[in-house]
Chain A
């Protein structure tokens, strides 16, 4: 079943999403409207990690 999904590609995109969100927060200059929304994005990215990235190395 696992073979039908592009798990490696998904892991890579999740990594890029996380790097992008983290970088956005780093350059926000402390604007709360950015930081707090990035925190929410990062929480969603964590769910992608739980669902995909964390298991990728085990498959």
Chain B
């Protein structure tokens, strides 16, 4: 296979590490200087820290640069010019696109894009889709709402850029989308893991279609939730659609920074577009080797209207021990994609719990449906956790054995005992985009 058939950009994606780091330093210096000179927010942040553009001489100097986080962006956007605030680094007349974050963790962040930044977004997504084997012969169906959220907007334009035929399934409901995908023989689509499984469920139970046999999907790009990097969830999705499911990571404020390749052995960080650091939670110490997870701090290069420099994304990630991916890309790998969110990891009965561990257990048990709900409450001074699952009708008679298996696996993977509730299939809440399956109802201290 020629390299141009394998990589969107064979030069950048296979750049030797030493050269990649030189490129990153140049780009870090550029974006730091740009933000310092054009964004009152960043100018003030760096001026107060005693930093000027000339102070970034090595990649390690990034550790001197103050971090940013979502709460700071929220405060800054209250300052003129409305609605982006003083982070805005271009004249507002140059802004051509508005999007906002979903607000899952609070007040949404408003995000401006110039035409160049929008082009940049599509470009970085093109790296993703090409690695996911999207090509000009693909008919890509877009089953999302084309709303005020960034979601798969840039994925749409990237698919066009790659040369695919793109079908916007925006206003159609789930059933109509599935029928249109079938009618047109769509070969690929992009959605959250929740919706990938949800669509398969609707196809089977409302339309009498088996997506694995009756549709022609060959590849699915999963984003917005960790699912495709959770082995049990990926297996369910791939079996449901008889398609390869690839993970992808991005965020409105950051851009599209990580993607799987055909080897599916972790997320490659697009290091030509981003600089990723991992910091130990609590101490902030830098984690540079595999074996320890921490919070992602990320810098985006070349995206100018709303610079993203040392942004603490609260995503929990870990470097992979795999140094050379079999795909040939030199972009560093993360083990298991996004493991969780620092916001989500919580202590229950004194034990640290990542909700993704519950998902891994539930979806590894074939007698259970895809949906579940974990609810943490407090009874007196003691934490209490209830897990609601759905049992697939054919297995209702085996509930005792399933309960035993579920309890054992949960104990093994999360070190906690749960109150287990078995519900009829189809009775737990269904979600179209991002799901909220973990509910911490304990009073806030």
A55-B15, A58-B26 known; A1 and B119 CB under 8 Å? Answer: no
A1-B3, A50-B302 known; A55 and B12 CB under 8 Å? Answer: yes
Distance (whole angstroms) from the CB of A52 to the closest CB of chain B:
7
Cα distance A52–B23 in the bound complex, in angstroms:
12
- Decide yes or no whether B116 CB sits under 8 A from chain A: yes
Q: Mark A15-46, 1 if CB is under 8 A from B, else 0.
A: 00000000000000000000000011011101
Please report whether the interface of chain B is mostly helix, strand, loop or mixed according to DSSP.
Answer: helix
- Decide yes or no whether B14 CB sits under 8 A from chain A: yes
Cα distance A42–B118 in the bound complex, in angstroms:
13
Cα distance A39–B11 in the bound complex, in angstroms:
26
- A-facing residues in B1-38 (Cβ within 8 Å): 3, 9-12, 14-15, 19, 22-23, 26-27
Cα distance A34–B23 in the bound complex, in angstroms:
34
- Decide yes or no whether A12 CB sits under 8 A from chain B: no
Contact of A51 among B12, B14, B116, B118 (CB under 8 A): B12
Whether the Cβ atoms of A46 and B19 lie closer than 8 Å is: no
Whether the Cβ atoms of B26 and A46 lie closer than 8 Å is: no
Cα distance A40–B119 in the bound complex, in angstroms:
9
Cα distance A39–B95 in the bound complex, in angstroms:
12
Whether the Cβ atoms of B116 and A46 lie closer than 8 Å is: yes
Whether the Cβ atoms of A58 and B3 lie closer than 8 Å is: no
Whether the Cβ atoms of A43 and B119 lie closer than 8 Å is: yes
Whether the Cβ atoms of A58 and B119 lie closer than 8 Å is: no
Whether the Cβ atoms of B12 and A47 lie closer than 8 Å is: no
Please indicate the chain B residues that have their CB under 8 angstroms from the CB of A59 in the complex: 11, 19
Distance (whole angstroms) from the CB of A39 to the closest CB of chain B:
6
Please report whether the interface of chain A is mostly helix, strand, loop or mixed according to DSSP.
Answer: helix
- Decide yes or no whether A14 CB sits under 8 A from chain B: no
- Decide yes or no whether B331 CB sits under 8 A from chain A: no
- A-facing residues in B46-63 (Cβ within 8 Å): none
Given A5-B10, A54-B26, 11 further pairs, Cβ under 8 A: A7-B11, A39-B115, A46-B116, A47-B123, A50-B123, A52-B11, A54-B23, A54-B27, A55-B11, A55-B15, A58-B19
Whether the Cβ atoms of B116 and A2 lie closer than 8 Å is: no
- Decide yes or no whether B120 CB sits under 8 A from chain A: yes
Distance (whole angstroms) from the CB of B4 to the closest CB of chain A:
9
- 16 A-B interface contacts by CB (under 8 A): A1-B3, A1-B10, A1-B14, A39-B115, A40-B115, A43-B115, A43-B116, A46-B119, A46-B120, A50-B123, A50-B302, A55-B11, A55-B23, A58-B15, A58-B19, A59-B19
Closest to A39 in B: B115
Cα distance A59–B22 in the bound complex, in angstroms:
10
Please indicate the chain B residues that have their CB under 8 angstroms from the CB of A1 in the complex: 3, 10-11, 14
Cα distance A7–B19 in the bound complex, in angstroms:
15
Q: Mark B344-375, 1 if CB is under 8 A from A, else 0.
A: 00000000000000000000000000000000
Cα distance A46–B120 in the bound complex, in angstroms:
9
Cα distance A37–B284 in the bound complex, in angstroms:
46
Please indicate the chain A residues that have their CB under 8 angstroms from the CB of B19 in the complex: 55, 58-59
Please indicate the chain A residues that have their CB under 8 angstroms from the CB of B15 in the complex: 55, 58
Please indicate the chain A residues that have their CB under 8 angstroms from the CB of B26 in the complex: 54, 58
Cα distance A47–B119 in the bound complex, in angstroms:
8
Cα distance A58–B26 in the bound complex, in angstroms:
10
Whether the Cβ atoms of B11 and A5 lie closer than 8 Å is: yes
Distance (whole angstroms) from the CB of B270 to the closest CB of chain A:
11
Please indicate the chain A residues that have their CB under 8 angstroms from the CB of B118 in the complex: 43
Please indicate the chain A residues that have their CB under 8 angstroms from the CB of B272 in the complex: 50, 55
Q: Mark B200-221, 1 if CB is under 8 A from A, else 0.
A: 0000000000000000000000
Whether the Cβ atoms of A47 and B120 lie closer than 8 Å is: yes
Please indicate the chain A residues that have their CB under 8 angstroms from the CB of B10 in the complex: 1, 5
Closest to B96 in A: A39
Distance (whole angstroms) from the CB of B126 to the closest CB of chain A:
9
Whether the Cβ atoms of A2 and B27 lie closer than 8 Å is: no
Please indicate the chain B residues that have their CB under 8 angstroms from the CB of A58 in the complex: 15, 19, 22-23, 26
Closest to B119 in A: A43
Distance (whole angstroms) from the CB of B111 to the closest CB of chain A:
17
Distance (whole angstroms) from the CB of A25 to the closest CB of chain B:
14
Cα distance A1–B3 in the bound complex, in angstroms:
8
Cα distance A1–B19 in the bound complex, in angstroms:
14
Closest 9 CB pairs of A and B: A43-B116, A43-B119, A47-B123, A43-B115, A58-B22, A58-B19, A51-B9, A58-B23, A1-B14
